[in-house]
Amino acid sequence: MNSKLVKCTTIGVDCTKNDPVDIRCGGPTYLGFDFYVKPEQEEEMKQFIIMSLRFFKVPIANIYFSGTIEVPEKDVWTKTRIVKAIKKDAHYLQQEAKRGYAYQKKAK
């Protein structure tokens, strides 16, 4: 089954800091999302993502364009799919944000 590859912009969303133990085990520094969107829609989709995160009260630490990638057409994110993903993870991300993980520098 051949799937057509589409060039996409990756929009990275950092929502909240991750558990330090998880980070030491190889997890990401921030919990959030990576969305693959068509380059001609990147600004529109970025604004839509911000609006959706705010609607579901998901914290936003950072949102950024992190490069381009070729993905199968089925993996390009639509507005409907973005809303479903944010809604699905909203409660978890809200709870993780309440933990308030702070990172301390090691003493010299």
Q: What is the pLDDT of residues 69-83, one digit of tens each?
A: 999 999 999 999 999
Task: Flag whether 105 is in a domain.
Answer: no
> Looking at per-residue confidence, does 8 or 107 come out higher?
8
Rounded to whole angstroms, the Cα distance separating 62 from 95 reads: 18
The token pair that represents 47 in the structure block? 């604004």
CB 32 within 8 A of CB 50: no
Residue 104: inside a domain: no
Instruction: Tell me which residue range forms the domain holding 88.
Output: 5-99
> 2 vs 3, which has greater pLDDT?
3
What are 74's two structure tokens?
């089925």
Q: Is residue 51 part of a domain?
A: yes
* Within-domain flag for 108: no
How many structural domains are present in the chain? 1
* 44 belongs to a structural domain: yes
Is residue 26 in a domain? yes
Q: What is the mean pLDDT of residues 9-23?
A: 95
Nearby residues of 96 by Cβ (< 8 Å), 6 or more positions away:
15, 16, 17, 18, 19, 31
Give a yes or no: residue 71 inside a domain. yes
pLDDT of residue 107: 46
**pLDDT tens digits, residue range 86-97?**
999 999 999 999
Residue 52: its pLDDT value, please? 98
On whether residue 66 sits in a domain, the answer given is: yes
Mean pLDDT of 25-45: 97
